[in-house]
Amino acid sequence: MFRCGISYPRCRWIVPLLVLFAIIFDIVAIAASSGWVEDEDARSHYASMWDQCRGRDDNWECKSLMEYSWAQAVAALMLIGLILLLIAFILACVGLCGSLNIGLMPVIGGLLFIVVVVQIIALILYPVKFNELIFEGHYYYTWAYGFGWGATILCIGCGVLFCCLPNYEDELSGIAKTKYIYTHA
């Protein structure tokens, strides 16, 4: 017999795991020293969230971007997003991994949506201001910048899940009977 159904109790550990992946993506984006932006040749100029470097081969001259207010704002917004994401992860572990605490779910969802707003502002502000600062040639945004967007997209999905989980309290606790989508004898 083949049966296909949704096992809601698995959400109790999968959803916090997704939030953990968002934290990892955020840390990679913030700490990446190889840069968020590089020129089209990837040989003479690159910039991370913290600094920019120009040069060739082993002769690089690096300069901090933190002297610009927009770069300080981007760094502050990304760090605030990471801190809120860590708080959301701790609350998710408390609310789902131990005894089920449905009251925390909308709070966690709200925190994740705040993270989304903060990080979207930072991830849009950076390329706009960077392109105003550097206007020669063509630049590509690298994998490190993409990890920032990946963390933000994961936060959107997790925020929706945490806002919807209170509707499935019985299913999450294992009280409700499994609903099969498809059964075949």
* Model pLDDT, residue 175: 66
Element (H, E) at 47: strand 45-47
Q: pLDDT tens digits for 16-51?
A: 899 999 999 999 999 886 778 887 766 677 788 888
CA dihedral 41, 31, 86, 154 (to 10 degrees): 10
Q: pLDDT tens digits for 49-81?
A: 888 888 777 787 888 888 999 989 999 999 999
* Model pLDDT, residue 21: 95
* Model pLDDT, residue 178: 64
Closest CA to 46 of 124, 144, 152, 147: 144
What would the mean pLDDT of 156-164 be, rounded to a whole number? 90
- Cα–Cα distance between 83 and 81 in angstroms, integer? 6
